[in-house]
Amino acid sequence: MGHKVVVFDISVIRGLWETRVKKHKAWQKKEAERLEKSALEKIKEEWNFVSECRRKGVPQAEYCKNGFVDTGVRLLEKIERNSLTRQRDRKSNPFVFELSGKQWKELPDSLKEQTHLKEWHINNTLIQIIPTYIKQFKAMKILDLPKNQIACLPAEIGCLKNLKELNVSFNLLKQIPPELGDCENLERLDFSGNLELTELPFELSNLKQVIFIDISANAFSSVPICVLRMSNLQWLDISSNNLNDLPQDIDRLEELQTFLLYKNTLTYLPYDLLNLKKLSLLVVSGDHLVEFPTALCDASTPLKFVSLMDNPIENNQCHDGDEVMESEQDRQHFDKEFMRAYIEDLKERENVPSYTTKVSFSLQL
């Protein structure tokens, strides 16, 4: 007996298959439209873009404008081009020295012979000591040394009479040498993120040319006296410290334009702040604030007064001391990037919110 052969109408099968294909394509189109309109898809796109920018070291202020993230590829390409251009310019400049990477635990020996250098840019290394031969670099103008393991600055730094910028943020400094007060041409100082700085030497009162100082993310319990004597100061960031009050003579800083005080435990603001006629931005934490001059909120003045309501969510931290220190610095660094973008956004707005609630959270996968 031979095989049974069942004959179908091929046109029927084809019609059935085409109907299923059409339904599937219609479903795909509908799903694509749904995803395009979905807020979750937008959040995912922004999250991936922000992650890419952070991986490439792009500051948040570059891509966050008016409270929104610009996810344009052209923007990222433009930022990268500008960054590469700056890097090429630095590398081609015979007066600039650059060093980065965790493989570096000390400065190369050849550096001591290059006393003609005007700029050092050293970051993200394990270097702990700045050698005393730095005094030989008489032409030095910029010392950019963030995110290393520097535990102290040599007294010889006071020999750099032409120094204009000093950035030793996010290191392990516990004190600043008084000899730094001899660098009377300094204009910018950044001591932020060292966590354990509690005071600045009085000798820094000699620095009358300083217009910018950042001592945030440390352990200051009051505004250093030397800072109050920096008569040309325009930007003061003393956020994330242990301040309970402000000095009554805060109005000595007549040129002050930006004053960042958030993440302290201030309960009141003195009326002397009203004497700072050039003050255009004041940012405080409103969690503990119970008294402040109502004139600070006067919309007719050019002052932008922002009260941040912090709302952190507790997270479990490890108990190992070194790891806690590292994670705290990372958290403070991220927080500064966020606030830098927020402040840049505030400067572009005509009006500011009456208060802002900042919610912090962590996600573990």
**Lowest-pLDDT choice from 50-54, 217-221, 271-275, 354-358:** 354-358
What whole-number distance in Å separates Cα of residue 72 and Cα of residue 326?
A: 33
Could you tell me which residue, 287 or 276, shows the higher pLDDT?
276
C-beta atoms surrounding 87 within 10 Å: 12
Cα-based distances in Å from 13 to 5, 8, 25, 154, 265: 17, 8, 18, 86, 76
* Alpha carbon distances (Å) from 358 to 196, 249, 272, 286, 310: 25, 31, 28, 11, 5
Q: Which residue has the tokens 């958290």?
A: 331
Residue 199: per-residue pLDDT: 96
**Which CATH number is correct for 98-360, 3.80.10.10, 3.40.50.1370, 3.20.20.70, 3.40.50.300?**
3.80.10.10
For the stretch 21-58, pLDDT in tens is: 788 888 888 887 776 766 566 666 666 766 666 665 66
Query: 145, 130 in Cβ contact below 8 A?
Result: yes
The answer to whether residues 213 and 227 touch, using CB atoms and an 8 Å cutoff, is yes
**What are the pLDDT digits (tens) for 149-183?**
999 999 999 999 999 999 999 999 999 999 999 99
CA atoms of 64 and 346, how far apart (whole Å)? 11
Q: Check pLDDT > 90 for residue 19.
A: no
Q: Model-level pTM?
A: 0.71
**246 and 223 Cβ atoms separated by less than 8 Å:** yes
Asked if 220 contacts 199 with a C-beta cutoff of 8 angstroms, the reply is yes
Give the distance from CA 87 to its chain's centroid: 20
Question: Hey, where are the domains in the chain?
Answer: 58-92, 98-360
User: Looking at residue 6, what is its pLDDT?
Assistant: 43
The pLDDT of residue 304 is 87
Structure token digits, residue 311 = 């709302």
Given a cut of 90, whether residue 235 has pLDDT beyond it is yes
